[in-house]
């Protein structure tokens, strides 16, 4: 007898599925048996490559484009996924917006607005678009990617931390609002994560960071994806409202 994660019969959408972490999350959910919609905003080439990777493993996947911070766009994406794969019951919000980090006094106001749209409005719009169908199913998983920076609040992180902390507050409320429908709402908070970019550039090791992590290494995109897959499964059916650091103990939130 063994325990395994089996997402057969489920349909997942991964926002930012063409991104460095999103692409591994997409493949991992597919390996667990889920049908996967790989969302992209502009990188259609990578999204289609992820889809082909999943199909080569025997899975089912499509690439879908949307601005996930816009409700109409998120709803249009939902309709396409439902037509091609079925009703989405697993949402993973991994899309991010990049910008240059600097001090509060020097940070452009548009960077705060961008992070608010990416972190807060993305989750609001995806909830409005997808959770009503989960309520009808009386089952759902809503998972968002946060960050260890939300706890660290280091200098130059203000726009990112503001967006992620706002997202955290919205998702904690959402968890309480939809729990009665057997829908869980959780967050995975990576540390500084090794991705394909590091493997290509040979930058996996960074002693100044690694030596301060209790597990003495940076996490990988697969480490993050494994946590997402667990939270999407029935093994995590009684876990909701959680901010889960996946950072080797680099942050350990207290009671």
- pLDDT tens, position by position, 26-77: 999 999 999 999 999 999 999 999 999 999 999 999 999 999 999 999 999 9
Residue 197: band (very low, low, confident or very high) from pLDDT cuts 50, 70, 90? very high
Q: According to the model, what pLDDT value does residue 255 have?
A: 83
Count the domains in the chain: 1
CATH number at residue 160: 3.40.50.720
Reply yes or no on whether 160 is catalytic.
Answer: yes
Residue 255: inside a domain: no
Residue 152: inside a domain: yes
SS3 state at 19: coil
Q: According to the model, what pLDDT value does residue 188 have?
A: 98
Q: According to the model, what pLDDT value does residue 163 have?
A: 98
Beta carbons within 8 Å of 239's beta carbon, 6+ residues apart: 184, 186, 231
Is the distance from CB of 25 to CB of 225 less than 8 angstroms?
A: yes
**pLDDT, tens only, 212-245:** 999 999 999 999 999 999 999 999 999 999 999 9
Q: Above pLDDT 70, what percent of the chain? A: 100
Strands 90-93 and 140-145 turn out to be parallel
SS3 state at 167: helix
Q: According to the model, what pLDDT value does residue 17 have?
A: 97
Is the distance from CB of 156 to CB of 181 less than 8 angstroms?
A: no
Residue 94: inside a domain: yes
Which of 154, 36, 27, 40 is CA-nearest to residue 94? 40
**pLDDT, tens only, 95-153:** 999 999 999 999 999 999 999 999 999 999 999 999 999 999 999 999 999 999 999 99
Residue 4: inside a domain: no
Residue 3: inside a domain: no
- Phi-psi region for residue 156, left (φ > 0), alpha (ψ -120 to 50) or beta? left
Residue 111: inside a domain: yes
Global confidence as pTM? 0.96
Beta carbons within 8 Å of 159's beta carbon, 6+ residues apart: 99, 101, 107, 111, 112, 114, 115
Domain that holds residue 116: 11-246
pLDDT at 2 over 90: no
Catalytically annotated residue among 20, 99, 112, 160: 160
Residue 95: inside a domain: yes
Residue 254: band (very low, low, confident or very high) from pLDDT cuts 50, 70, 90? confident
The total number of residues shown for the chain amounts to 255
Residue 253: inside a domain: no
Is the distance from CB of 184 to CB of 141 less than 8 angstroms?
A: yes
């Amino acid at each position: 007898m063994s325990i395994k994660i089996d997402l057969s019969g489920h349909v997942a959408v991964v926002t930012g599925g063409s991104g460095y972490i999103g692409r591994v999350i997409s493949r991992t959910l597919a390996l667990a048996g889920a049908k996967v919609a790989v969302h992209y905003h502009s990188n259609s080439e990578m999204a289609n490559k992820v889809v082909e990777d999943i199909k080569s493993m025997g899975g089912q996947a499509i690439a879908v484009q949307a601005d996930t911070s816009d409700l109409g766009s998120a709803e249009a994406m939902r309709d396409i996924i439902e037509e091609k794969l079925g009703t989405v019951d697993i949402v993973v919000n991994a899309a991010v917006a990049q910008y240059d980090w600097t001090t509060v006094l020097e940070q452009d106001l548009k960077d705060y607005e961008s992070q608010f749209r990416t972190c807060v409005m993305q989750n609001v719009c995806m909830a409005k678009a997808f959770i009503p169908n989960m309520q009808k199913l009386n089952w759902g998983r809503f998972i968002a990617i946060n960050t260890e920076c939300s706890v660290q609040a280091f200098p130059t992180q203000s726009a990112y931390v503001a967006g992620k902390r706002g997202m955290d507050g919205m998702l904690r409320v959402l968890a309480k609002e939809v729990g009665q429908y057997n829908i869980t709402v959780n967050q995975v908070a990576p540390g500084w994560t090794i991705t394909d970019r590091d493997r290509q550039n040979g930058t996996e090791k960074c002693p100044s960071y690694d030596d301060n992590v209790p597990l003495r290494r940076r996490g990988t995109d697969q480490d993050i994806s494994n946590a997402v897959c667990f939270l999407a499964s029935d093994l995590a059916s009684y876990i909701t409202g959680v901010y889960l650091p996946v950072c080797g103990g680099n942050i350990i939130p207290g009671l």
